[in-house]
Structure 1
Amino acid sequence: MNCAQARDTARHVLAEHHAPEALVADVLTVVSELVSNAIRHGEGLTGFHITVSAGQVVIEVSDRSTLPPHLQPPSPNTPGGFGWPVVKTLAPGTFIRFHRTGKTITATLPTYVPPAH
């Protein structure tokens, strides 16, 4: 699976649940960042799963690396370095489970965002 396929899967799941466009945009951003990082830095994507239940969207992305994501210092010569902070901002409850064959990152986004006052 590549990033485009993961985003298509996420769009399909969210459409089944009539998710609002703002939530879809946030979920697609998190999916893109986690899947691309698994492919680029995690020695390959080994799993992708997305579910909607109990007022939340849960995204699970697995890869072969046992190294945790880390912040890259900004550099004009090296692109990127923004993905992990974006994921942590959109899904602050994100956590990492390490296992014998790598790691799984689980990101959770609420399906309901209270209106601003």
Structure 2
Amino acid sequence: MTCAQARDTARRVLAEHQAPAALVADVLTVVSELVSNAIRHGEGLTGFHITVSPGQVVVIEVSDRSTLRPRLRLADPHTPGGFGWRVVKTLAPTTFIRFHRGGKTIVATLPAHGRPSAP
């Protein structure tokens, strides 16, 4: 599965639940970050699943072959990238990692009310 295919799947699932546009935008961002990182850094995407529970809480599960934890990198204007995990943790603050024999699964939950407010 590619990032584009994962986003298409997410759009379809969210449309079935009539999710608000702001939530859709946040979900698509998280899907893009997690799937691209699984492909780029996680030794390949091995699973993708998205569900919407009552109240429009969205749960995204992305699995890969790596047992390495994602890490926050310090901002460096001379090095591209490195902001994906921070974006995921901002939009889906209850994100956690399940490790298993074949690697890991990152489970990101986005609240129905959209983006958390800034501290």
TM-score range, shorter chain: over 0.9
- In the alignment, structure 1 residue 5 sits paired with structure 2 residue 5: yes
Aligned residue for 1:18? 18
Match of 1:96?
97
Identity %: 82
After superposing the two structures, state which structure 1 stretch, 76-85 or 46-55, moved more.
76-85
Compute the displacement of 1:111 (Å).
Answer: 2.0
RMSD: 1.3
Shift of 1:77: 3.6
SS of equivalent residue, structure 1 residue 66 = coil
Compute the displacement of 1:79 (Å).
1.1
TM-score, normalised relative to structure 1: 0.92
The match for 2:29 is: 29
- 5 Å-filtered alignment, 1:10-89, equals 10-55=10-55, 56-89=57-90
* CA–CA distance in structure 2, aligned partners of residues 33 and 5 of structure 1: 13
Q: How many residues align?
A: 114
Superposed displacement of residue 91, structure 1 = 0.4
Secondary structure of 2:99's match? strand
- Point out where structure 2 has 5 or more consecutive residues left out of the alignment: none
Structure 1 residue ranges without an equivalent (≥5): none
Q: Which AA in structure 2 matches 1:36? A: S
- TM superposition shift of 1:62: 0.1
C-alpha offsets along residues 67-111 of structure 1, whole Å, 9 cap, x if unaligned? Answer: 000112233342100000000000000000000110000000122
